[in-house]
Structures are given as C-alpha cells and as structure tokens.
Amino acid sequence: MAKPYHVSMAQHHAIQFVEQRMSALSNWCSQIFDFGETAWREYQSCEWYVDRLRQEGFSVEEGSGGMPTAFCADWSNGSGPTLGLYAEYDGIPGNCQAADTRKKPRDGLDFPAGGHTDPHSGLGISNLGALLAIKSAMEQFGIKGRLRFTGEPAEKVRGSKPIHAAKGYYDGLAAILSFHPFYMLPMCNTVRWNTHCGAAYSMIYRFVCDAPERWGHTDGAPIPQAHSAARAPGANDALMMMYQSSKALRDAMLPHQGGWSISEAILTAGQATADNLPAELAEIQYMIRVPSLDMAEQVTRILDQNAQAAAQVTGCRSERHWVSKSRPGLPNHAIASLVWQALEYIGPPHWDEAAKAIARDIQRNLGVTPLEDPFIEELSTLIHPQDAEAALRQDLPPSQLNSTSDDYTEMCWHAPTSRLYIARPALKASGTTAHPSWVMNAMGGIPALIEPMIITAAKTQALAALRLLEDEKSRRLAYEEFERRKDEAGAIPPLCDYDPPINFRWPEYVETRRGRDWSIPARQ
C-alpha cells in the first residue's frame, strides 16, 4: 500500500515505541480486564492509571470533576497546542467472564459480578500506549506542546464526560482523539464521517414509601397492624408499574430501526421482609439513546408521567435523579481524514496462527466445527470512512443526523474530535445460532486475541496526534471546521446541571472473610 503522506522521524519513533512496549501494554490490559469494575466504583482501575501516569512523568488530578474514580493527567513539553486522549475502564454487571476459551467466571467470583464487554480494558490501554508514544517522540525530537489524558469512569451509563465537559476539562484543547473497539459493522477499521453518535439521557427514578399509613385512609388513623389488613402497595409495586408502563412507551414511541433505544436497570428493590410490610425503597435507572435532544426531552416527559402515576397508585413519592445528559456528536472531516490517513499507513490488525488456534478452541467448546479461518473477514480489512458512512446510512432516514450512542460526543462541542474504530476479535457465525455473549467478553481479555487491536489503535492514534502537533495547517483546518460545525448546529452548551451521581447503590466489589465478593451496598 502506498504511503498516503510523509511519515516524520517522530512518527516513526512513536511506531517503534509502541512495538517495544507491547508486552507491557498487554500485561496492563490484562490487569484492567481482571479488575472488572463497574460504573462509579472503578477504584482499583483508577488507582492503577493514576500510579502509572505519575510514574511516566504526568501530573495527575485525582477525583476530577468531583468524581472519585475520575482523573485528569497533564504533561508539558513547552508552549504549544494541547492534545487530548482518554481512558475508559468500567465494565458491566453480570458479565464476569474469565480470559478463557470456556464459559467461566474470573477466579473467586461468579457470573453476576462485573466484567468487560466492549472491552474498555483494551480501549484505555490502547490510548495509553499512544499517549506514551507521543510523549516519547515529543521529548526525543523537541516537539512543543501539551498532552491531556482524562480518566472517564461510568461510560456505560454515560457518566463522566458530560461532567468533565461542564467543568471545563476539554476547553482549550487543539484536538481530541477518540477510539473505540469495533462493535458493529460497518464500523470496523475506519473513522466516523458524518453520522456521529446521538444524544443520551440517563436518570434514576426512586420510589420511596415513607408514609404508608396515609394510603387508603382519610381519617388519619394509623396503618392497621394485622397481617390480613390492607396495606400500601409500596415501592416494589411502584417500580413494577413503572417498568411495565415504560415498556409500553417503547412500543408506542420508538421505531425498531435507526439506533434508538430505551433500556432499564433495576438498581434496588425490596428493602423489606416477606412480612405484610410495604417495601420502602426501589430504584430503576433508564438509558435513553436517541438522535436528538428534542427526542430525549420528549421521552423524559413521558417517563416522568409514568413515575408520578406509579407513585400515586402505590402510596409512594417519586424522585428523578440525573445520571447523564449528553449531546449529539459533530462531524469534522478535516481531523477524520487525518486519522484515516494514519490508519491507512498502519494498516488493519491481523491475527496469527496462534490466535486462530485459540479461536478454534472456543469454537470447539461451543460445539461447532472449528474453521480454518475462524475470524470474520472484516477484522483484517480497512473500510474507507465514506464507504462506512454510506453503509450506515442505508437503514437511516435522511432526516436522522445521528445514530447509536456514546458520550465521546460531549468532546465534539469543545474541540475538533475524531472517532476511530479498530477491530476487536469476532468469530464467524456458526450456522444460524448467534454466539453467546461470553465469547466476545472472553476474547477481549485473552492477550493473543486482543493485542492486534491494541497495537494497531495505539500506533494510529500516536501517528495522528504527532501529525497534528507537527503540522500547524492540519490543526487550523480542523479547528476552523469545528467552529463552523458548532455554529451550524446551534452551539449547544453543556447540559450537566446535576452533581455526579456517585451516591446511589451502584453494585461494587467488597472484601469479606470469604474474600473479594460482589455486592449491592446498603449505604445511600
């Protein structure tokens, strides 16, 4: 493949740096994968990044934006442009899969515990590898400028980026380089072009039955104590009614295509014995992924009505607490083209025979015939951003500007932002049966399978960053387009008008006499 542009000595240095540090990057990825921590409770993962970055010469603010598991790391090589990259490191409850070719939880845990699905373990370490390569090249070749690396917890609930954005952590950056492991075709080994991710709202509805004696009684009499007496339905019933009525909302309001969704997670329920007592507290979280803010507001209004109705019927009061309000993304062809050129030069990831043998072992354990080439073809090919855009648009109406959801979009309103996708391992389909989710989760933690993604993403991000630092014209073109796109879209300010939602009963790991265990805490 012909080189799309001249690669400087500094960029060559960065490529070699990633190759030389690959063993360490792989080990680090395995460590974050094994932590398997979830939203707002990524204590070990955050501590690991903070320690690592300080060892590498960065100054680090812990707890940035008022979030205990967030951080902001800075390094300077003199006056010059500041580039931003970031790590994500949260997993998802109920996905405690070991880095193994069979379905099994990580040692000492069971499947309900947290685990990495995307995997954010590889996302963060890929960007860290790029960051350290950029820093080394800047030092070696006297390139002036600054680097900012933010730790972004709770991405799965779109948690930290709206808060960091509102508190100014992305202001003044010349560019931000976003990366995500490929998660849907055609977004595999490419860069987003026009159709960036959409808006996302997330909130918790809390039902509290703190005065059950008032339900069904008009004379002020105390609630009857007999087990056979009528009682307030309580918080569990409120949550159940909210859950069911909002299921109907989805059927009535959202089409079954276009990347729109409403999903829910029950954080707490019960809080009572099986005696004739009403449950005092129940909480349900909603995630709304829609193309526009107007749609997010519309869905929120209906959810609010459902919550109020459920509370009135069950003798409860309802509260709404924000988890996230994130804006839809903005395209930037100038920076997307620059990152694409870097990816063309680096080329797609490839999996060697040792990796294929591991994949075949997974296939055998699934009870299917192992394939000579077990991975889907798209993993080792590039797709031009405009071709990926055309494929993505086939199922979208012309009026829909954004699709699917990820909160990197918050960064798009503060600096020119690219969105890179590099292939993670994915197996070919076995007949008409989809692979169980543990397969993708496991492959994200097996070093031989995830390393090709890490090295490709780290090199591409480093190459693009150094091009921006060395080429003032590239920075200027990206920033001019950023200002134009923002003005055309109406310059939406940060939406975060809430405190970090860190004090809810998010599941977490605890240390007991039984060892490390998974728990939903009782403390508010």
Cα 246 from Cα 305, distance rounded (Å): 10
Average pLDDT over every residue of 228-254: 82
- Give CATH for domain 9-197+328-489: 3.40.630.10
Residue 506 pLDDT > 80, yes or no?
Answer: yes
Say whether 200-325 and 9-197+328-489 share the same fold.
no
- pLDDT of 1 reads 44
Least confident range from 82-96, 314-328, 342-356, 425-439: namely 425-439
Q: What is the mean pLDDT of the chain?
A: 92
- pLDDT of 220 reads 55
Least confident range from 83-87, 166-170, 263-267, 379-383: namely 263-267
The pLDDT > 90 percentage for the chain reads 78
- pLDDT of 523 reads 45
pLDDT digits (tens, 9 = 90+) for 12-41: 999 999 999 999 999 999 999 999 999 999
Average pLDDT over every residue of 376-388: 97
Identify the residue with better confidence: 441 or 404. Answer: 441
- pLDDT of 340 reads 98
Residue 522 pLDDT > 70, yes or no?
Answer: no
- pLDDT of 330 reads 97
| Residue 79 CB burial class (10 angstroms; 0-12, 13-18, ≥19) | exposed
Residue 489 pLDDT > 80, yes or no?
Answer: yes
Which residue type sits at 49? Y
Identify the residue with better confidence: 268 or 316. Answer: 316
Q: Where are the domains of the chain?
A: 9-197+328-489, 200-325
- The residue with tokens 């990825």 is 29
Grade residue 225 by pLDDT with cuts at 50, 70 and 90: low
- pLDDT of 217 reads 63
Alpha helices (H) along 154-234: 160-166
Residue 410 pLDDT > 60, yes or no?
Answer: yes
Q: Which fold has domain 200-325?
A: Alpha-Beta Plaits (3.30.70)
Residue 2 pLDDT > 50, yes or no?
Answer: no
- pLDDT of 223 reads 58
Alpha helices (H) along 77-188: 120-141, 160-166
- The first and second tokens of residue 318, run together, are 């309802």
Cα 164 from Cα 230, distance rounded (Å): 49
pLDDT digits (tens, 9 = 90+) for 100-126: 999 999 998 999 999 999 999 999 999
- The residue with tokens 């010059």 is 80
- pLDDT of 254 reads 60
Residue 507 pLDDT > 60, yes or no?
Answer: yes
Average pLDDT over every residue of 77-84: 97
The pLDDT > 70 percentage for the chain reads 92
> Rounded to the nearest 5°, which phi and psi values hold at 339?
-65, -40
Rg (CA), the chain: 24
Cα 381 from Cα 148, distance rounded (Å): 31
- pLDDT of 84 reads 98
**Torsion of Cα atoms, 501 then 503 then 504 then 507, to 10°:** 110
Classify residue 213 by its DSSP letter.
Answer: G
| Residue 320 CB burial class (10 angstroms; 0-12, 13-18, ≥19) | middle
